[in-house]
Amino acid sequence: MFTRQNRTEIQHFVVTAKQMQAIESRIFDAGMPVAALMEKVAGRITEGILSKIKSISVTSIGVLVGPGHNGGDALVVARELHFLGYSVVICCPFSKQKELTQSHFKYITSLGISINKNMESLQHCEVIIDGMFGFGLERPITDELAEGVNQINAGNKQILSIDLPSGIHTDTGEVLGTAIHATYTFCLGLWKLAFLQDSALDYLGEVELIDFDIPLADIEAILGQTPEFRRITPENAMADLPLPRPLATHKYKNGNLLIVAGSHRYTGAAILAGLGARASGVGMLSIAVPNSIKPLLSTQLPEALIIGCPETEDGAILDFPSNFSLDQFDAIACGPGLTQSATTLVQLILECNRPLILDADGLNILAQLNPILTLSQRQAATIITPHPGEFKRLFPELAEELSNHVFVTQKAAQQSQSIVVLKGAKVCIGTANTVWINPESTPALARGGSGDVLTGLLGGLLAAVVLNQTPIDAIVKTAVWWHAQAGIQAAKDKTELGVDALTLTQYLNLNPIQSRFLNKSHP
């Protein structure tokens, strides 16, 4: 049963504008009066606004009102703030409103609150509430309306947006002409896709979901049992961790991972991938590197089996040693620091029947090998982890759509029949049926080597879950979330500028993951 005690479950749902409209229609068709829902939602928005402004001195609050129900929400909030003693200034630059919104205007007028059409009327307010447009906006904001929005943005006020900053497309996060730069945004009911698109991040500010008790049956009736888009939450991220281990176990029951990485020029990439794998707790770790850098890896990772390989003249791996078999490993992670001289090696790995993570130069080499055909023909699971530049080389026909990270990740996964991890401020994980998006991250991870750490961490988890038959896509979301949480905690302790990739590896063992392991009993 979906009760108030487990409403945290609502956090993983993500909807498009069309889906949200369908869910709301079900609620209204079931008998919920629109006016009653508006009162409930606006009450919770008011609580959220009060929590945000309680620490600052506020005498006047401006309320920007639109013609639809988003404007109606804003008017109810304005009314409640008026009753709490705040001086409220209302601006509505529209001549017509929906019927319910018009009713609230009538009552607001009876309270003696003046209504202005010009946005300049808000310039002396310390705080502005943006209730102009909610979800579903399709047309650009232009002309006088755009000028007014730009004036509000230039005022450097605290701006609290209802549902979405006005001017942001609900699904793509695209700026439609211009948009409000919110300090806080209160997303209503369910998370909209825009909150998980990199293109909207500069406009959203701090975000919070205002849950107004949508029945789970109504959500599932529209989204189905397996929603197309989902947010990663701490609960679903940790649900598939291979912890705790049985008391009777040994290293080969906890995953046997091979990392193929590094070159004379990029030794650090192999080390960082190895340290990421170490943090996963993988049972057995082997790292294949050029012979010339083998001693450096042995010093940094004494527990790993370092496999020295013949190398090219420029210090890249040429081939594996004689009598070496890829079949002995549960999973392979390939790419960090290889250089593109390792083409033959990557081709050999792509042909093997082992779950594979391909990153960095592994992806650059794949881009030259008809990537969609090559990936779709693999017999084992494949995970690719491109940043946007690598993604364009792999999927050039999707390059023009890359601003819409969520949708291009989904398309790439379907075309290649692989799991696609598209890196960015909001990492997207595309599978055949679902896109998982990580909502929490930090700019501290935008440094060289952070991706190598993720590759190793993901490889270690992959090797472990292959043995216990956990769905592979489940552990990918775990690795992405774990990696981001380590970065967030490191940034808190070290500042964003102080989180190099080596420091990041040291934080992989801390906080939520460790706590879960310590608090969960053995079977």
> Which pLDDT score, from 0 to 100, does residue 252 have?
74
- Distance in angstroms (rounded) separating the CA atoms of residues 89 and 59: 11
* CATH 1.10.1060.10 for the 10-223 domain, yes or no: no
- β-strands 60-65, 87-91 pairing: parallel
Under 8 Å between Cβ of 175 and 154: no
Is 12 labeled as ligand-binding? Answer: no
> Which pLDDT score, from 0 to 100, does residue 66 have?
96
Under 8 Å between Cβ of 160 and 183: yes
Is 387 labeled as ligand-binding? Answer: yes
Under 8 Å between Cβ of 237 and 311: no
Strand-pair partners of 422: 428
Strand-pair partners of 211: none
- Distance in angstroms (rounded) separating the CA atoms of residues 249 and 522: 12
> Which pLDDT score, from 0 to 100, does residue 514 have?
54
Strand-pair partners of 191: 14
Cα–Cα nearest to 378, from 358, 350, 420:
350
Under 8 Å between Cβ of 364 and 340: yes
Is 118 labeled as ligand-binding? Answer: no
Q: Angle of helix 216-223 relative to helix 17-29, nearest 10 degrees?
A: 130
- Residue 201, CA distances (Å) to 164, 184, 221, 492 in order: 11, 12, 30, 20
Write the DSSP symbol of residue 328: G
Strand-pair partners of 229: 435
Under 8 Å between Cβ of 381 and 355: yes
Q: Is 197 helix (H, G, I), strand (E, B) or coil?
A: coil
> Which pLDDT score, from 0 to 100, does residue 1 have?
40
- Distance in angstroms (rounded) separating the CA atoms of residues 441 and 460: 21
Is 138 labeled as ligand-binding? Answer: yes
Is 130 labeled as ligand-binding? Answer: yes
> Which pLDDT score, from 0 to 100, does residue 521 have?
43
Query: Which residue reads 């947010």 in tokens?
Result: 231
In terms of C-beta density within 10 A (0-12 exposed, 13-18 middle, 19 or more buried), how is residue 327 classed? exposed
Q: Angle of helix 34-53 relative to helix 99-110, nearest 10 degrees?
A: 60
Is 438 labeled as ligand-binding? Answer: no
Is 393 labeled as ligand-binding? Answer: no
Q: What is the pLDDT of residues 340-350, one digit of tens each?
A: 999 999 999 99
Is 134 labeled as ligand-binding? Answer: yes
Q: Is 380 helix (H, G, I), strand (E, B) or coil?
A: coil
In the sheet with 87-91, reading across from the earlier edge strand, the strands are 115-116, 87-91, 60-65, 127-131, 158-162, 184-188, 206-210
- Distance in angstroms (rounded) separating the CA atoms of residues 486 and 375: 31
Is 73 labeled as ligand-binding? Answer: yes
Phi, psi torsion values for 71, nearest 5 degrees: -65, -35
- Residue 283, CA distances (Å) to 97, 325, 336, 376 in order: 64, 19, 21, 30
Under 8 Å between Cβ of 329 and 354: yes
Is 255 labeled as ligand-binding? Answer: no
Strand-pair partners of 421: 429
Strand-pair partners of 305: 286
Is 71 labeled as ligand-binding? Answer: yes
Write the DSSP symbol of residue 411: H
Q: Is 425 helix (H, G, I), strand (E, B) or coil?
A: coil
Alpha helices in 84-119 (DSSP H): 99-110
Is 137 labeled as ligand-binding? Answer: yes
Is 139 labeled as ligand-binding? Answer: yes
> Which pLDDT score, from 0 to 100, does residue 510 have?
67
- Distance in angstroms (rounded) separating the CA atoms of residues 262 and 268: 7
- Distance in angstroms (rounded) separating the CA atoms of residues 303 and 160: 52
Helix, strand counts (H, E) of the chain: 19, 19
Is 361 labeled as ligand-binding? Answer: no
Report which secondary-structure segment, H or E, holds 475: helix 472-494
- Distance in angstroms (rounded) separating the CA atoms of residues 412 and 391: 9
> Which pLDDT score, from 0 to 100, does residue 55 have?
82
Q: What is the pLDDT of residues 155-189, one digit of tens each?
A: 989 999 999 999 999 999 999 999 999 999 999 99
CB atoms within 10 A of CB 217: 10
Q: Six-digit token pair at 211?
A: 């849950």
- Distance in angstroms (rounded) separating the CA atoms of residues 145 and 178: 9
Along the 523 residues of the chain, how does pLDDT read in single tens digits?
444 445 778 899 999 999 999 999 999 999 999 999 999 999 999 999 999 998 888 889 999 999 999 999 999 999 999 999 999 999 999 989 999 999 999 999 999 998 899 999 999 999 999 999 999 999 999 999 999 999 999 998 999 999 999 999 999 999 999 999 999 999 999 999 999 999 999 999 999 999 999 999 999 999 998 899 999 999 889 887 766 677 777 777 778 999 999 999 999 999 999 999 999 999 999 999 999 999 999 999 999 999 999 999 999 999 999 999 999 999 999 999 999 999 999 999 999 999 999 999 999 999 999 999 999 999 999 999 999 999 999 999 999 999 999 999 999 999 999 999 999 999 999 998 999 999 999 999 999 999 999 999 999 999 988 766 667 888 999 999 999 999 999 999 999 999 999 999 999 986 555 555 444 443 3
Q: Where are the beta strands (DSSP E) in 163-275?
A: 184-188, 191-192, 206-210, 229-231, 256-260
Start and end residues for every CATH 3.40.1190.20 domain found in the chain: 234-518
CATH number of 234-518: 3.40.1190.20
Q: Angle of helix 267-280 relative to helix 450-468, nearest 10 degrees?
A: 40
Is 424 labeled as ligand-binding? Answer: no
Is 202 labeled as ligand-binding? Answer: no
- Distance in angstroms (rounded) separating the CA atoms of residues 116 and 118: 6
Report which secondary-structure segment, H or E, holds 426: none
Under 8 Å between Cβ of 488 and 395: no
Is 143 labeled as ligand-binding? Answer: no
In terms of C-beta density within 10 A (0-12 exposed, 13-18 middle, 19 or more buried), how is residue 519 classed? exposed
Write the DSSP symbol of residue 291: G
